[in-house]
Amino acid sequence: MRKIQLVYSNPVPGMEDEFNEWYSSRHVHEILRVPGYLSAQRFRVTRHPIGEKVVQR
């Protein structure tokens, strides 16, 4: 059985850089050590005109 887990997060205002550093350099690697997790990706939700390319983190 294949599943997808989607997580939304909002860092504390003013702490976005620290949050993103922790999430990318530490948390994602911790999650991938959990049995059953095979991959992880980060995306940024942005408002954009239809047809504009979405930026992947």
CB-CB contact of 19 with 11 (8 Å): yes
Average of per-residue pLDDT across 4-12:
89
Average of per-residue pLDDT across 11-17 = 93
Task: Please give the DSSP secondary-structure letter assigned to residue 56.
Answer: B
Position 57 scores a pLDDT of 61
Q: What is the DSSP secondary structure assignment for residue 46, as one 8-state letter?
A: -
pLDDT for 10:
86
Domain positions in the chain are 1-57
pTM > 0.75: yes or no: no
Condensed to tens digits (0 to 9), the pLDDT of residues 24-54 reads: 999 999 999 999 999 999 888 777 666 666 6
Q: What is the per-residue pLDDT for 34?
A: 95
